[in-house]
Amino acid sequence: MFRSRGEGRGSHSAEALRLVSVTKVYGSDATGTEVTALDGVSLSLPTGGFTAVMGPSGSGKSTLLTCAAGLDRPTGGLVVVDGCELTGDETAATRLRRERIGFVFQSCDLLPTLTVLENVALPARLAGRRVDASRAVDILRRVGLGARLDHLPSELSGGQRQRAAVARALVTEPALILADEPTGALDTRSARDVLGLLRRAVDEYGRTVVMVTHDPVAASFADEVLFLADGRLVDRLPEPTPGAVAERLARLPERSREPVAA
Ligand X SMILES: Nc1ncnc2c1ncn2[C@@H]1O[C@H](COP(=O)(O)OP(=O)(O)OP(=O)(O)O)[C@@H](O)[C@H]1O
Q: Tell me whether residue 61 or residue 232 sits nearer to ligand X (CB atom).
A: 61
Tell me how far the alpha carbon of residue 240 is from its chain's centroid: 18
Cα separation of 136 and 155, whole Å?
19
DSSP letter, residue 194: H
CB of 162 to ligand X, least distance (A): 18
Computed on alpha carbons and rounded to an integer, the radius of gyration of the chain in Å comes to 18
Q: Tell me whether residue 52 or residue 167 sits nearer to ligand X (CB atom).
A: 52
Phi-psi region of 169 (alpha: psi -120 to 50; beta: other; left: phi over 0): alpha
Residue 158 sits at φ, ψ, to 5 deg, of -60, -40
Q: Tell me whether residue 26 or residue 205 sits nearer to ligand X (CB atom).
A: 26
Cα separation of 163 and 222, whole Å?
18
CB of 259 to ligand X, least distance (A): 16
CB of 260 to ligand X, least distance (A): 17
CB of 185 to ligand X, least distance (A): 13
Contact 70, 34 (CB under 8 A): no
Q: Tell me whether residue 23 or residue 42 sits nearer to ligand X (CB atom).
A: 23
Cα separation of 8 and 206, whole Å?
11
CB of 75 to ligand X, least distance (A): 12
Strand order in the sheet with 208-212: 101-105, 176-180, 208-212, 50-54, 224-229, 232-238
DSSP letter, residue 145: -
CB of 73 to ligand X, least distance (A): 12
Which residues of the chain form contacts with ligand X (CB under 6 A)?
26, 29, 35, 37, 55, 57-63
Q: Tell me whether residue 60 or residue 240 sits nearer to ligand X (CB atom).
A: 60
Q: Tell me whether residue 23 or residue 62 sits nearer to ligand X (CB atom).
A: 62
